[in-house]
Structure 1
Amino acid sequence: MSYILMNKDVEILEFLYDNETHTVTKIVRMIHPNYAPLGIIEYRTGITRKALNNWWKDRSIPASRSRFKEVMGEMDLHSPVELLERCFGLSLSDQYWIKEGNSDIQWADINFFENDFSEDMGKLLMGQIHYSDDLDIFSPDNSSDGNLKKKWKIINNTRYLIKGGNSFNNQEPFNELVATKLYERILEKQDYVPYELLHENDVYYSACPTMINTDEELVSAYYIDRMIKQRGNDSLCTHFLEACKSLNIPNAKEQIDKMIVCDYIIANYDRHYRNFGAIRNVNTLEWIGIAPIFDSGSSLWATQPTSLIGSTYKCKPFKSYPEEQLGLVDDLFWLDITKLEGFEQEVEDIFKMNPLMDEARIQAIVQQIELRIGKVIERKRQLGNF
């Protein structure tokens, strides 16, 4: 089958696709390659079939997603890519999609930003319903990443990502609210995605609006980082910032510093290269800047027993040890430490809303946040940024 990779209504390239193996077999011709996603570009060779296949597979739901193997069995699917094929590869994180070579369908007819979509697939993935042949599975949930249960939902005409927590204490949704309250205190509004709690079917979830509009795309740090060759003496952080510089992404250093400091305070152990990145305008191809901070639920020892709260953990993305990563921040003039006063009490009040967290666990977390704020203040003193 012949298909066209699209960026909104701009044709990027034509390719041949094997519907049995769910892979690209050949790139037939380039049309407007400048509008291609970064993920299909190799810095040495440009756009390649291998990179296109990897990018296509990366758009699908990861096999490690909670309950996803059961869903695959219920639907008699052999590959998560099959779900992508049923929704043109559309997403709520960018404007890319594919169409058959002879199709006259338009982006405006099908995109999830402007058109309603069914919640059936999201409910199925969340375990709220069982599969049946009459379900409408045309949904952005077919291209959502991450391991925790999640679904997209339209609330008052805004697209919200609803996300669950672990089965042990469901702490992650509350962590997102804690992170949001921290960001509200010390960051600008454009620096973060706000999360709130949603109570649905007697379970608490986090809910956040999509961070981009119909003219933008979120590009993960994973793809940005691969745009230039890493020099042997460059640290991971230096290399990423050099990659941002090569793409003309503005103000990257300060925004990454903000992310590192906030992640340190909330002990984020999972800030990997696919949950931060940058925003690009898909029409002009100009970079708007580093993406607002999102996806901070994997923090504060969420999956650890209370006795291990405060224990050493390996952090990401640039250093394995939190203090070393905090040491990468060499300018804290932007941080007003007076705005952190009383934050511990706010954290305590949030966690008391979680019926699966007892007082001992809450107090252990509060103590750790207090200690970590103290270390950030000490770092500010070391830098002389007062």
Structure 2
Amino acid sequence: MQLLMKDRPLLEVNDNGVCNVIEFDLLPFGLRKQNITLADFIEWASNRTLSIGRSYAKEILNSLRLSQSNRYAVCKACRGLTLTDSYWIRQNEDDKTWKEVNLFENPLSLFITEISLSGKNAHHPLTMQMKKEIHTPELTTLGASAKGWIRHSDGLYLHKVGKYEIPASRVLSALDIRHISYQVSDNEDIDLYLSEERKQWIAGVGEAIVNSKLFTTEDIAMVTFEEFKIFCEAYELNPFEEAVKIDRTAYLQMQIADYILNNNDRHEQNWGFFMDNESGKIIGYCPLFDHDHAFSDYSGVLSQTTEKDITLFDAAVNAQRELRTDISELNSMKCPEFLTEEQWEQLLERAGMIGGQDI
């Protein structure tokens, strides 16, 4: 079995479970350690697959007759292919090439998209060929909300249940903080994947399907902070200090964004860095993404992106003291779609707490 970057073998796991490194500098950051063991490889591969806590994860796995508890087996079944990077796993009997299997270019198994967005597989019975050639990013797309990848004429888009992405995107644009832009999905985009009943249910609970364009490519990958942290700890480096060194401004802007949005979901897989696949080196921060748990209605939310246990407010005050981010654009905005007036007033109050005083 081999781990590859496109068609470049990086690591080989022999029949005895011994891992032989072929090209260390291009390995995933979570595997860039001395004396890689089979357990290390299994942990890395398992962490690539969807959590059973994701909406409709059980339905996705059941449709493909895959284990709900063995994430490593799921990873091997789909070759570990993801839209996050260009790594994949090739078994000894597999003769496929990157061009034949990669998700960036090849047609996706759209019946899985339907299940991932609606929980139902009404039109496509499973065949042995489908199971043998699983070709979907849904098994390696992380996060908890219902979501699915759909290819449009200009690229791949992630459609998800998450109305708060819309106002978060508007606010971050006003603050001139780099982020992934979201828009409400058109009916023509999702009619093939959602029944009328499902669409009515989404609207009835006050939610919406939104989408954003894929921000990685075959040549530029994402490294989550979770994986970066594993790398740093293997070499006794402080991951937070190293993250600041990569781009201090981007790191501090994240503190300001999360406080103003009152985002309680910036866990270690929800931020990270871009990696150049040719060199294996980190080249900067990813734009901020995944804000469907923002605008929480309680104060004192703890930061998940600082080394010390401090609140989002304290982290933002420290960041604003240095950056002096201009928040005046927020005061001229109208309440964005999907926010209540109360939520908007709370946001403006938070912004004023760090931008309207001499700190």
Structure-1-length-normalised TM-score: 0.78
* 1:191-202 aligned within 5 A: 191-199=178-186, 200=190, 201=194, 202=199
Say whether residues 1:138 and 2:135 are aligned partners.
Answer: yes
Q: For 1:292-325, what per-residue CA distance to the aligned partner results, in whole angstroms no more than 9, with x for missing partners? A: 1111111112xxxxxxx34443442324522222
The separation in 2 between residues aligned to 1:104 and 1:282, in whole angstroms, is: 23
After TM superposition, the runs of 4+ consecutive aligned structure 1 residues lying more than 6 A away are: none
Residue number in structure 2 paired with 1:365: 343
User: Cα distance, 1:376 vs. partner?
Assistant: 2.1
Which of the residues 331, 335, 348 maps onto 1:341?
Answer: 331
Partner of 1:299: 294
Question: 1-side partners of 2:233 and 2:288: how far apart?
Answer: 26
Q: Supply the AA of the counterpart residue of 1:92.
A: L
1:211 maps onto 2:215 in alignment? yes
What's the counterpart of residue 98 of structure 2?
107
Aligned to 1:15: 13
SS of structure 1 residue aligned to 2:222: strand
Q: Which of 257, 278, 282 is the matching residue for 1:287?
A: 282
Task: Give unpaired runs (5+ residues) of structure 1.
Answer: 18-24, 165-172, 233-237, 302-308, 353-361
1:119 is matched with which residue: 88, 92, 110?
110
Q: Decide whether the 8 Å contact of 1:72 with 1:80 is kept in 2.
A: no
Residue from 338, 347, 353 that aligns with 1:351: 338
CA contact (8 A) 1:14 1:101 kept: no
RMSD: 2.6
Unmatched runs of 5 consecutive residues or more in structure 2? 203-207
Matches of 1:257 and 1:274, distance apart in 2: 18
Counterpart of 1:180 in 2: which secondary structure? helix
Q: Secondary structure at the match of 1:351?
A: coil
Counterparts of 1:154 and 1:207, CA distance in 2 = 12
Aligned mate of 1:267, from 253, 262, 266: 262
Residue correspondences, number: 332
Distance in 2 of aligned mates of 1:224 and 1:239: 10
For residues 90 and 326 of structure 1, the distance between their equivalents in structure 2, rounded to whole angstroms, comes to 37
Q: CA deviation at 1:146?
A: 1.1
3-state SS, counterpart of residue 174 of structure 1: coil
Query: What is the Cα deviation at residue 107 of structure 1?
Result: 0.9
1:317 corresponds in structure 2 to 305
Is 1:268–1:315's contact at 8 Å kept on the other side of the alignment? Answer: no
**Retained in 2: the 8 A contact 1:269–1:313?**
yes
> Contact 1:225–1:243 at 8 Å: present in 2 too?
no
User: Residue 13 of structure 2 aligns to a residue in which SS?
Assistant: strand
Answer whether contact 1:121 1:142 (CA < 8 A) is retained: no
TM-score of the aligned structures, taking structure 2 as reference length: 0.84
The equivalent of 1:358 in structure 2 is: none
Question: Contact between 1:241 and 1:253, CA under 8 Å: does it hold in 2?
Answer: no
CA contact (8 A) 1:230 1:239 kept: no
Structure 1 residue 73: deviation in Å?
Answer: 4.1
Indicate conservation of the 8 Å contact 2:166/2:338, yes or no.
no
Distance (Å, rounded) in 2 between the aligned partners of 1:84 and 1:179: 32
